[in-house]
Amino acid sequence: MKFLVLQHINIEHPGIFLKFMKEDNIQIDTVELDENEKIPQLDQYDAMIVMGGPMDTWQEETYPWLKPEKEEIHKFACVQKKPFLGLCLGAQLLSEAVGGKVRKMKTPEIGVLKVSVTDDKSLFKGLDKDLKVLQWHSYEAYDLPNSTNLLASSADCKVQAFSSDRAFGLQFHVEQTSKTVPEWACVPEYKSALEKTLGENALEKFKSNVEKNLSVFNSSAKTIYENFKKII
């Protein structure tokens, strides 16, 4: 199998999913969009994974590569209807591709929090209804068309996960490793949101909490990965 991975900053990569894919001898082509790398011909790929990033879906003037990226996501997920997995910003880009919208949240979600699984028949099959995840976002998808399925929700963010045909969007993170929080905290936009939401001295406590729950995240990531493979 051959997967295409779209990244928007080099430290926000598939994390532990990379380990799973390599163990399965999956060929991985990574495109670093923020370094102006071009998206290759889509027909050669069995699945696409789109990662998060510090930019927002509406910032096409600042990040002009967002526009062609959205077009390619729409082509892959909505026209070709191939397996697609979007994480955080990747989920928001999928939302727009299927006809939904993205908006700034009243209260950002940052920390180790729980989401409620509302549909455990596909991507979340075998997972707990109350799923502990890593959150680090200030925008959310909303107003999705009736053709989509809501898969998970929370009090502050209704659309935590959704699907459309064989495409899945997850607003939260389960792909993190022990390096994730320290690396992401170096990104000015992420650090600012973290301190604004949790306080100036919250980083060490946040990092410790993530490390304490890392085995839970890794287990959830493995289940999600195996379920995703089944639709390919």
201 or 66: which leads in pLDDT: 66
- pTM, rounded to two decimals: 0.96
Q: What is the pLDDT of residue 35?
A: 97
E strand or H helix at 3: strand 2-7
**pLDDT tens column, 68-114:** 999 999 999 999 999 999 999 999 999 999 999 999 999 899 999 99
Give yes or no for residue 14 having a pLDDT over 90.
Answer: yes
pLDDT value for 226: 98
**Please, how many CA atoms are within 13 Å of residue 29, restricted to the half-sphere of its CB?**
15
Per the annotation, the verdict on 189 as an active-site residue is no
Give CA separation, 65 vs 71, 72, 119, 190, in Å.
10, 11, 34, 21
CA distance 100 to 17: 27
Tokens 């991975």 correspond to: 5
User: pLDDT at position 185, please?
Assistant: 85
The single-letter code of the amino acid at 226 is: E
Q: Specify the pLDDT at position 187.
A: 85
Q: What is the pLDDT of residue 43?
A: 97
175 catalytic per annotation = yes
Query: In the chain, what are the domains?
Result: 2-230 (3.40.50.880)
Give the C-alpha separation, 111 to 229, whole Å: 28
From the candidates 69, 88, 137, 140, give the one annotated as an active-site residue.
Answer: 88
pLDDT digits (tens, 9 = 90+) for 154-203: 999 999 999 999 999 999 999 999 999 889 888 888 888 888 888 877 88
User: Quick one: average pLDDT of 37-66?
Assistant: 97
Active site residue 157: no
Listed residue (211, 95, 88, 209) closest to 149, CA to CA: 95
